[in-house]
């Protein structure tokens, strides 16, 4: 069996959930577990996040998987239903839905349901992705309340720049003005808002990337928020090569040695989810020591500099990201974000769940 493995720490998930709760002690925590729990495995993550007040997903299949596993918390479909026939299952299994467009209101108006549904009405405060524009909010809310299919209503939005210097002041003001006079619960805060803007916590906060131990802000490390990495992606060296000065390495000969260089060949490539565009110098740990990648990432292998790690031989332990090398560092080196790397871990990588 190839030695590459993703280890998932349930205790780290529980710890990060506690961190989220400490930042928003007066709010309920909606743990965002969409995209297969950001690549960590949906039901794996749920086990570590079982103390959450609710779970946010995208599709009905995910919602039913959680409910059928015995979890009784609120389950929210973040994009709502995609067809009217899903509403019957939503009603039957007490699943909450986002309503973000006129077509979804029409589905509710035209269907007969055994039980009414909990609805999160989404307002577009400037991201221009999903949601009703402020001018359309009152009519949308009135139609939902009049259709007889809504058990309770929560008002929500999503901030586009909560993780950036510009913050949320503008869209938060739009939300407050749009909903003024209405006393419904609110759900506004993603991870960045949860950590930076307590005034926007509302009754629900939607903790996402922070639960998996990475920072939602490029300017601040996960460790600065006392977050623990949940996934450790590891492998082993499967061969060792020695380069003389002037010799090159890998596809495109993208690395050329300027001095004698000892190279470890690692069983991990872009088909495992490691970013092909990671450049020379991307951080990695070998035998517990920090070093860097060399050359171009292949489909099944990559190269690491072990010139200063003489004990590193075939079988040596390699951490691609985890406790020594944060996934945020790898993402920054590769010009992307940790979300993409975590979600991209391939099904062929074996996953081990640790308490």
Q: Is residue 1 part of a domain?
A: no
pLDDT in tens, 111-122: 999 999 999 999
| Continuous H helices in the chain | 10-23, 34-38, 42-48, 60-68, 85-92, 102-110, 134-146, 169-178, 191-196, 327-334, 338-343
Give residue 290's domain range.
Answer: 231-354
The reply to whether 274 belongs to the active site is no
> Is the dihedral angle over the CA atoms 326, 327, 331, 337 positive or is it negative?
negative
Average pLDDT over residues 309-334: 97
The reply to whether 270 belongs to the active site is no
Q: Which pLDDT does position 113 carry in this prediction? A: 96
Q: Is residue 277 part of a domain?
A: yes
- Report whether 291 contacts 305 (CB < 8 A): yes
Kindly name the residue from 106, 115, 177, 251 that is annotated as catalytic: 251
Q: Which pLDDT does position 203 carry in this prediction? A: 98
On whether both 174 and 212 belong to a single domain, the answer is: yes
What DSSP assignment string belongs to 298-320? -SS-EEEE-TT-TT--TT-EEEE
By C-alpha distance, which of 351, 353, 343 is closest to 273?
Answer: 343
Contacts of 3 (CB under 8 A, 6+ apart): 234, 235, 236, 238, 267
On whether both 148 and 285 belong to a single domain, the answer is: no
Phi, psi of 339 (to 5 degrees): -50, -50
Q: Which H, E and C letters describe 244-288, residue by residue?
A: CCCCEECHHHCEECCCCEEEEEECCCHHHCCCCCCCCCCEEEECC
Domain end call among 190, 216, 242 = 216
User: CA angle, corner 353, sides to 348 and 355, nearest 5?
Assistant: 170
pLDDT in tens, 287-309: 999 999 999 999 999 999 999 99
Asked whether residue 299 is marked as a ligand-binding residue, the answer is yes
User: CA angle, corner 12, sides to 7 and 16, nearest 5?
Assistant: 140
On whether both 154 and 300 belong to a single domain, the answer is: no
Average pLDDT over residues 173-199: 98
CA distance 56 to 230: 19
Q: Which pLDDT does position 226 carry in this prediction? A: 98
- Report whether 265 contacts 240 (CB < 8 A): yes
On whether both 254 and 318 belong to a single domain, the answer is: yes
Q: What is the pLDDT confidence band of residue 253, given thresholds at 50, 70 and 90? A: very high
On whether both 151 and 284 belong to a single domain, the answer is: no
Identify the bridge partners of residue 283 per DSSP, sorted by sequence position.
Answer: 292
On whether both 138 and 240 belong to a single domain, the answer is: no
On whether both 139 and 245 belong to a single domain, the answer is: no
On whether both 56 and 188 belong to a single domain, the answer is: yes
On whether both 70 and 173 belong to a single domain, the answer is: yes
- CATH number for the domain that contains residue 104: 3.20.20.10
User: CA angle, corner 318, sides to 316 and 324, nearest 5?
Assistant: 130
- Report whether 101 contacts 130 (CB < 8 A): yes
pLDDT in tens, 111-164: 999 999 999 999 999 999 999 999 999 999 999 999 999 999 999 999 999 999
- CATH number for the domain that contains residue 237: 2.40.37.10
Q: Is residue 66 part of a domain?
A: yes
Contacts of 164 (CB under 8 A, 6+ apart): none
Tally of structural domains, the chain: 2
Report the predicted TM-score, pTM, of the whole model to 2 decimal places. 0.96
On whether both 203 and 75 belong to a single domain, the answer is: yes
Domain end call among 184, 216, 248 = 216
What percentage of the chain has pLDDT greater than the value 90? 99
On whether both 191 and 251 belong to a single domain, the answer is: no
Q: Which pLDDT does position 330 carry in this prediction? A: 98
CA distance 344 to 286: 22
Q: Which pLDDT does position 288 carry in this prediction? A: 97
Contacts of 196 (CB under 8 A, 6+ apart): 162, 167, 217
What percentage of the chain has pLDDT greater than the value 70? 100
On whether both 159 and 14 belong to a single domain, the answer is: yes
- Average pLDDT for the chain: 97
Q: Which pLDDT does position 220 carry in this prediction? A: 94
Q: What is the pLDDT confidence band of residue 83, given thresholds at 50, 70 and 90? A: very high
Q: What is the pLDDT confidence band of residue 44, given thresholds at 50, 70 and 90? A: very high
Q: Is residue 3 part of a domain?
A: no
- Report whether 91 contacts 114 (CB < 8 A): yes
Asked whether residue 77 is marked as a ligand-binding residue, the answer is no
Average pLDDT over residues 44-68: 98
């Amino acid at each position: 069996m190839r030695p590459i493995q993703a280890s998932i720490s349930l205790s780290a998930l529980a710890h990060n959930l506690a961190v989220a709760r400490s930042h928003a002690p007066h709010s309920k925590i909606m743990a965002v577990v969409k995209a297969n729990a950001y690549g960590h495995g949906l039901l794996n993550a749920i086990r570590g996040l079982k103390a959450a007040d609710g779970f946010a997903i995208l599709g009905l299949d995910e919602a039913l998987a959680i409910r059928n596993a015995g979890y009784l918390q609120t389950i929210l479909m973040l994009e709502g239903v995609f067809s009217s026939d899903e509403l019957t299952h939503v009603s039957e299994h007490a699943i909450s839905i986002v309503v973000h467009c006129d077509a979804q209101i029409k589905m509710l108006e035209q269907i007969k349901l055994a039980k009414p549904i909990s609805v999160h009405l989404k307002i577009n405060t400037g991201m221009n992705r999903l949601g009703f524009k402020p001018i359309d909010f009152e009519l949308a809310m009135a139609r939902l309340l009049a259709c007889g299919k809504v058990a309770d209503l929560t008002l929500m939005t999503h901030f586009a720049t909560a993780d950036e210097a510009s913050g949320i002041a503008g869209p938060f003001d739009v939300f407050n003005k749009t909903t003024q006079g209405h006393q419904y619960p609110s759900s506004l805060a993603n991870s960045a808002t949860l950590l930076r803007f307590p005034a926007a916590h509302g009754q629900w906060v939607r903790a996402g990337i922070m639960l998996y131990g990475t920072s939602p802000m490029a300017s601040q490390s996960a460790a600065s928020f006392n977050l623990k990495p949940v996934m450790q992606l590891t492998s082993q060296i499967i061969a060792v090569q020695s380069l003389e000065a002037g010799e090159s390495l890998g596809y495109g000969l993208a690395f050329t040695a300027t001095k004698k260089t000892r190279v470890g060949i690692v069983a991990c490539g872009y088909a495992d989810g490691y970013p092909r565009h990671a450049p020379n110098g991307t951080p990695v740990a070998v035998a517990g020591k920090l070093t860097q990648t060399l050359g171009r990432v292949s489909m099944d292998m990559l190269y690491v500099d072990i010139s200063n790690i003489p004990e590193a031989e075939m079988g040596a332990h390699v951490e691609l990201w985890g406790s020594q090398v944060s996934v945020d560092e790898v993402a920054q080196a590769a010009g992307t974000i940790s979300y993409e790397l975590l979600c991209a871990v391939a099904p062929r990588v074996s996953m081990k769940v640790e308490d």
